[in-house]
Amino acid sequence: MEQFKIGIVCYPTFGGSGVVATELGKALAKEGHQVHFITYSQPTRLDFLNENLFYHEVNIRSYPLFEYPPYELALASKMVSVVKNEKLDLLHVHYAIPHASAAYMAKQILKTHGIYIPVVTTLHGTDITLVGKDASYEPVVTFSINQSDGVTAVSHDLRRETFEHFKITNEIEVIPNFIDLEKFKKQKKDHFKKAICPQGESLIVHTSNFRKVKRINDVVNIFANIHAEIPAKLLMIGDGPEREKAENLSRELGICEDVRFLGKLEAVEEVLSVADLFLMPSEKESFGLAALEAMACEVPVVSSNTGGIPELNVQGVTGFLSPVGDIEDMTRKSLFILDKNNLPRFKQNALKRAQEFDITQILPIYEAYYQKIMIESEAKTTL
C-alpha cells in the first residue's frame, strides 16, 4: 500500500468521534503513513510513540469584539498552513460541525495557491441526528457534506438517516467503528473483581457521557430489578448532566450501597475486563462504540434496538435487544444472560463478534477509500 500524508481533524475529547479519529490516526501511523492531527488541544488518547505522528494546535485568539472566538476561521487557517507546509495528500475530518465547513473554506483558499486537497468527512451521529438538524446549521451541514470529496458514516442506520433528513447528492460509504483488540484483550484482574464483588456477585457496567439520550435512569432501574433477584453490583463509568439524578434514584431505590459512580476513566478496559454484563438502554446510538469495547472484553450486551446498535449487537447471540424504555424486558434478558449456564456462551460470542471490528479489519478499508478518493480528485483536477 502506498504511503500517504493525512491530516486528521477531530474533537480531542473522550467522545466517540474523537476516540475513533485518534485510534485511526495511530493505526495509520503504525502502518507507515504520516498523520497530522489538527485540533485545539491534544487528543486524550494520542501518544507520540511513533515517528509518523504529529500534532498541530489551533490557536484561538480572544478579542473584546468577539463574544465567541471564531474557531472555524482559526481552524481553516491552520488547515491551510499544515496542508501547504507538510504537503498533505488528504484531509480527513471527523464530525461534520464545524470541521467539514472549515475544510471547505481551507480547500477554497488552497486552490488560490494552486493546491487541491481532497477532503473526506466522516459522520459520527449527533452531527446529523441532533445538532445538524437544527435550522441554524442545516444549510451549512448539507452544503459541506455535498462539497466533500468523500463521505463516510459509521453505520447503515446513520447513512439512511442522513439521506432522510438532508438533501445529500454525495455518495456515503459505510465504514463501521472499530476496536484495537490488543488494547482490550481480556485482562485477568481477579483481585479487582474480588474487591468489588467479594461474595461473587454479578458485575454489571454502564459507560457513557450521562446525557438524557443515554437514559441513565433506565440503567439504575434495570439494575434495581436484577438486584432484587440475584446478588449484583453496578459500576457507572462516565460523567455528565444526568449523573446526579441517577445517584439520587439509586438512594431512593435503596441500592446505593451496590452502585458505584466512578466518573471518567481512561482505561475502561480494566473495569470491563471483569464485568459480566454491559447495559446500553440509549434512546439513540449511531453505532454503539461503548458496547463494542465491552464485547472486546468478552462482556455481553443488553441494549435498546435503536439506531446502529442492531448492526453490532446480535439478538440472542452477543446479548439482547429491547425496545427503548422497556425496563422489564431488559431485566428479563439480563437475568437470562447472567445465569451461570448461559453466561460463558454469551461471553464467547461477544468476543467473536468484536473480532469482526478489529482495527486490522477496518484499517485496510479506510486506506483503500483514501486511495480511491485521491485518484478521483486527481482526475477532476486534470480535466
Q: For the chain, give every domain's residue range.
A: 5-178+359-382, 181-355
Residue 139, preceding peptide bond in cis (omega within 30° of 0): no
CB count within 10 Å of CB 195 equals 10
Q: Which residues of the chain are modeled with pLDDT < 70?
A: 1, 14-15, 48, 127, 129-134, 186-190, 382-383
Cα separation of 256 and 196, whole Å?
Answer: 14
Task: Kindly tell me the sign of the dihedral angle through the C-alpha atoms of 103, 360, 371, 55.
Answer: positive
Cα–Cα distances in angstroms (integers) from residue 337 to residues 109, 175, 226, 313, in the given order: 56, 30, 11, 14
Query: What is 5-178+359-382's CATH topology?
Result: Rossmann fold (3.40.50)
pTM: 0.90
Cα separation of 90 and 85, whole Å?
Answer: 13
Largest CA-CA distance found in the chain, in angstroms, rounded: 72
> Residue 12 in 3-state DSSP?
coil
Contacts of 90 (CB under 8 A, 6+ apart): 4, 5, 6, 7, 117, 118, 119, 120, 370, 373, 374
Which residue's C-alpha cell is 446549521?
137
The number of CA neighbours under 13 Å toward the Cβ of 242 is 19
Edge-to-edge strands, sheet with 53-57: 53-57, 34-39, 5-9, 90-94, 119-123, 150-153, 173-174
Cα separation of 96 and 286, whole Å?
Answer: 14
The number of CA neighbours under 13 Å toward the Cβ of 252 is 9
pLDDT digits (tens, 9 = 90+) for 325-343: 999 999 999 999 999 999 9
pLDDT digits (tens, 9 = 90+) for 271-308: 899 999 999 999 999 999 999 999 999 999 999 999 99
- Cα-Cα end-to-end distance for the chain: 26
Query: What is 181-355's CATH topology?
Result: Rossmann fold (3.40.50)
The x, y and z cell numbers of residue 53, run together, are 505522528
